[in-house]
Structure 1
Amino acid sequence: MSGLAAGWASGAQGRTARSPGIAVTIDDFDLTDTPLMSGEERDAAIRAALARHRVKAAGFVAGKYVGDSLDPAVLARWSDGGHILGNHSFSHRYFGGEDPAGFMADVLKCEPLLSGYAGFRRLFRFPYLAEGKIAAGRDTMRALLKRHGYRNAPVTIDTSDWYVDNRLKARLLADPRQSMEPYRRFYLGHVWERATFYDGLAQSLFGHSIDHTILLHHRLTTGLFLDDMLAMFEERGWRLVDADKALASPLLAREPEGLPAGQSLVWALAKADGRYEGRLRYPGEDGAYEAPRMDALGL
């Protein structure tokens, strides 16, 4: 655990008067069936957890999943439930900075699949949180998004939930009777560690905690553990925040100049600040960081 995270691992102890907030954002919306849950069952579990905690989320939908593998009724349920639907591009490809016009065309290709829902907002989430490795491409893409009325929807708390999910699904395929408890403990510990790390960065940068946006994916782990995750944050003194409120913060409109652009916005601002080199790994999150710990635990 990093020094920044260690200072916050005790939860409520040592907080400033402004406790951190957390808003749920969920990417991709791949409704492929998984062990234990079909895609629609997983989605119902996610929405039920949000409803139990009285919080509204933002879903960033990749257009390639809308169609045979995604029942449009799912999007209607999100919209009707007061959640945001945002654009995650059509093809979900990595943006390295080359051909920003072509990448923008892919973003616009996704829009008609979402624009008929009341919950649609012109908010864009870069796939892989990759916003360009070259300054010209980064800046052109920023200008194109603004020209078409889009705002970037950054993440402040990044996670490797996708990797934990991959490991869990592989284990369930090998042993359908596998207990969920060790995976639940690891998942919650991972999310808490990363949240406290990024909030520690925010405190150091701004002098206070912020309303964070956490990156999760429409995966089995989210269906199984989101309710526990939200309860954990509440029990440890964090506020649950609606996604529209968090995403409207002027802080999230900041555009760091560093390269490669992207990652967590808090990470990127710390990178641009220059004082945090010893605390910032690149990429900020990756399965390679979690693999040794999961291996050691037999997960």
Structure 2
Amino acid sequence: MLLALSPRVLLPSILLAICLFTFWRPDHIARQTAVEAVDVAVSDKRIAFSIDDAPRGVGAYLEAGERPKLLMEAMKTAGIEQAVFFVNPGRVTDNDGDEATILAYAEAGHLLANHTADHNRLSDVSVATYLADIDEAEKWLKGKPNYRPWFRFPYLDEGGKNKAKRDAIRKGLKKRGLMNGYVTVDASDWHLEDLALKASKAGQLMDWNAMGELFVESYVQSAEFSDDLARRTLDRAPVQMVLLHETDLAAMFIDDLAAALKKKGWTIVSADEAYRDPIAHMEPDTDFADGTRTQMLAAERNVGNRWYQRNDQKVAKKLFAERVLRE
């Protein structure tokens, strides 16, 4: 049975239907989907921070003792609530104040992990010597606040071409309950620091602002490069892990770096979140065990263009000379 509707009832109904169709028409849906896709693309760019070689010697810019306080303040400003410091306890003595510095990092909310006691390169020592170096560091670290059972290879040297040595250390880490603290984003800040130290000792004038720009630019480029490499290799975006060192450059410019990364759509996450990512447990089987986790995974899977160019010391030295020394 059909109901007869008066024009006064029918007209508002028709107008409502037109409005609903206009609002929910396919091109509106397409636009909404596009916006959601952009949001997902931005939100999956996650990045965490790690700092190696703590405690480290005096740098080119700051007075002795200034670096730790400035570094902690800069990370707080940057919104880096939880970085991980990979510690070399063999550098800590009873009267140098370094233990207090390491504990201050932990008290500020950051994590402590193993970087060997004396920073040996695996390719240069025996398996027994290397494992003893790890054990010595563990003795110092265990019981410290915010300790994590993670290990970072000095120089990112996991045995080079010696697969037997690589596998022996992997087995030794598992036996000790230690996870390989992977890295993905590297721009050789240690090399920039070395160049600055040499320039300072030689009495050369350096452009402080240009140094900061070079540092930030290089690490942002490295993050974008590693993100692309990971997507080409794994078909997804793992949490990227930045490799810095406890240098004057990190203390002076880490907040600028964090701000620049955020402008590129990166979200800063904790080291704990990073090492929960599946990439943390991958063990690439490559002919040469050295470099970042993304580089080695790409090598294992024959993905091309694996090397960020500014990790080439000749390239970095030329940029430093042109932009910082203005030669």
1:19 offset after TM fit, Å?
3.2
Distance 1:46 1:152, change over 3 A: same
Confirm or deny that 1:64 pairs with 2:90: yes
**Distance of 2:116 and 2:282 partners within structure 1:** 21
Confirm or deny that 1:260 pairs with 2:288: yes
Confirm or deny that 1:102 pairs with 2:126: no
Task: Determine if contact 1:61/1:87 at 8 Å carries over to the other structure.
Answer: yes
Counterpart selection for 1:21 from 46, 54, 57: 46
**Superposition TM-score, scaled by structure 2 size:** 0.80
Counterpart selection for 1:48 from 49, 54, 73: 73
Counterpart selection for 1:159 from 184, 187, 203: 187
Question: What is the root-mean-square deviation of aligned Cα atoms in Å?
Answer: 2.3
Deviations 1:103-143 (A, max 9, x none): 11110011222223121111100000000121111111101
Structure index of larger Rg: 2
Structure 2 equivalent of residue 295 of structure 1: 321
Confirm or deny that 1:180 pairs with 2:205: no
Structure 2 equivalent of residue 92 of structure 1: 119
**Superposition TM-score, scaled by structure 1 size:** 0.87
**Distance of 2:57 and 2:303 partners within structure 1:** 43
Task: Determine if contact 2:229/2:306 at 8 Å carries over to the other structure.
Answer: no
**Distance of 1:21 and 1:117 partners within structure 2:** 28
Structure 2 equivalent of residue 169 of structure 1: 197
Which stretch has the larger CA shift, 59-68 or 149-158?
59-68
1:292 offset after TM fit, Å?
2.2
Structure 2 equivalent of residue 222 of structure 1: 250
**Distance of 1:163 and 1:254 partners within structure 2:** 28
Q: Amino acid of the residue matched to residue 145 of structure 1?
A: L
**Distance of 2:308 and 2:226 partners within structure 1:** 14
Distance 1:192 1:255, change over 3 A: same
| 5+ long unaligned stretches in structure 1 | 1-12
Which stretch has the larger CA shift, 48-57 or 94-103?
94-103
Distance 1:267 1:249, change over 3 A: same
**Distance of 1:161 and 1:204 partners within structure 2:** 26
Which has a greater percent of helix? 2
Which stretch has the larger CA shift, 239-248 or 90-99?
90-99
Distance 1:107 1:149, change over 3 A: same
Q: Amino acid of the residue matched to residue 172 of structure 2?
A: L
Distance 1:15 1:176, change over 3 A: farther
1:273 offset after TM fit, Å?
0.4
Deviations 1:37-81 (A, max 9, x none): 234311111111221233210000112221144521111111212
**Distance of 1:282 and 1:186 partners within structure 2:** 15
**Distance of 2:78 and 2:308 partners within structure 1:** 33
| 5+ long unaligned stretches in structure 2 | 1-37
**Greater relative contact order: 1 or 2 (C-alpha under 8 angstroms, separation 6 or more)?**
1
Which stretch has the larger CA shift, 202-211 or 120-129?
202-211
**Distance of 1:111 and 1:148 partners within structure 2:** 10
Which stretch has the larger CA shift, 163-172 or 183-192?
163-172
Q: Which secondary structure state, in structure 1, belongs to the residue aligned with residue 122 of structure 2?
A: coil
